[in-house]
């Protein structure tokens, strides 16, 4: 079989780690990325084109910002700007890895509710495959598929791969995830 057809376009939603914080990607999305490289892309770097989406959740950093005082519209502007920079740094991590491996990629950020934004971006970008990491096998709930991945499996208009994390990859306290 010659591989002359267009590369397989794989979209991946990536998010920040709440354990290690900025600018580290979450355990789930790093595990999903590594799995995808070793099990799907393998040696066929030319056959795949990766698309990284980071969705910025407007209220995501509520706790970090408890000490902040927003006294003017400019303060909000600064916060939004900072969140955008964080998202860009997160994407940079994955883009750098792809670059080292010779895999073509694109990355972008969007604001909103992750599950809704992911599905609307799938509709717009029309990837061949959407990869979603899931917190998976936790210590208390042996099998749990998060609402984002569950929503995407049902609503995204392309095949979806759900990669559950192994129990030993989960942090002790779910809040550290």
Q: CB of 88: closest distance to a second copy in angstroms?
A: 27
**Closer to a second copy by Cβ: residue 14 or 56:** 14
**Closer to a second copy by Cβ: residue 38 or 74:** 38
**Closer to a second copy by Cβ: residue 86 or 148:** 148
Helix, strand, or coil (residue 147) = helix
Contacts of 38 (CB under 8 A, 6+ apart): none
Q: CB of 102: closest distance to a second copy in angstroms?
A: 8
Could you say which DSSP state residue 169 is in? G
Q: CB of 122: closest distance to a second copy in angstroms?
A: 12
**Closer to a second copy by Cβ: residue 113 or 150:** 150
Q: By the criterion CB under 8 A, which residues form the site for a second copy?
A: 1-3, 5, 8, 35, 38-40, 42-45, 47, 101-102, 128-129, 137, 143, 145, 149-150, 153-155, 157, 159-164
Structural tokens at position 58: 């407007």
Q: CB of 3: closest distance to a second copy in angstroms?
A: 3
Q: Count the Cβ atoms, other than its own, within 10 Å of residue 133.
A: 28
Per DSSP, the residues of 148-168 read HHHHHHHH-SS-EEEEEPPGG
Residue among 113, 146, 112 at smallest CA distance from 132: 146
Q: How much is the CA Rg of the chain, to the nearest whole Å?
A: 17
**Closer to a second copy by Cβ: residue 6 or 175:** 6
Calpha distance 104→47 (Å, rounded): 9
Residue among 37, 58, 40, 35 at smallest CA distance from 136: 35
Q: CB of 83: closest distance to a second copy in angstroms?
A: 30
């Amino acid at each position: 079989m010659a591989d002359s057809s267009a590369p397989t376009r794989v979209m991946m939603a990536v998010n920040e780690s709440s354990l290690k914080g900025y600018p580290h990607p979450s355990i789930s999305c790093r595990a999903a990325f590594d799995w995808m490289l070793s099990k799907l892309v393998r040696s066929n770097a030319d056959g795949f084109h990766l698309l990284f989406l980071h969705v910025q959740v407007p209220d995501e950093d509520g706790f970090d910002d408890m000490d902040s005082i927003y006294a003017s519209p400019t303060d909000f502007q600064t916060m939004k700007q900072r969140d955008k920079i964080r998202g860009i740094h997160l994407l940079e991590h994955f883009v750098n890895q792809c670059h080292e491996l010779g895999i073509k990629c694109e990355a972008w950020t969007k604001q909103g509710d992750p599950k809704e934004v992911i599905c609307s971006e799938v509709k717009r970008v029309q990837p061949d495959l959407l990869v979603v990491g899931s917190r998976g096998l936790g210590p208390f709930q042996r099998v749990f598929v998060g609402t984002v991945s569950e929503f995407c499996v049902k609503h995204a208009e392309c095949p979806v791969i759900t990669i559950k994390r192994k129990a030993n990859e989960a942090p002790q306290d779910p809040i550290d995830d």
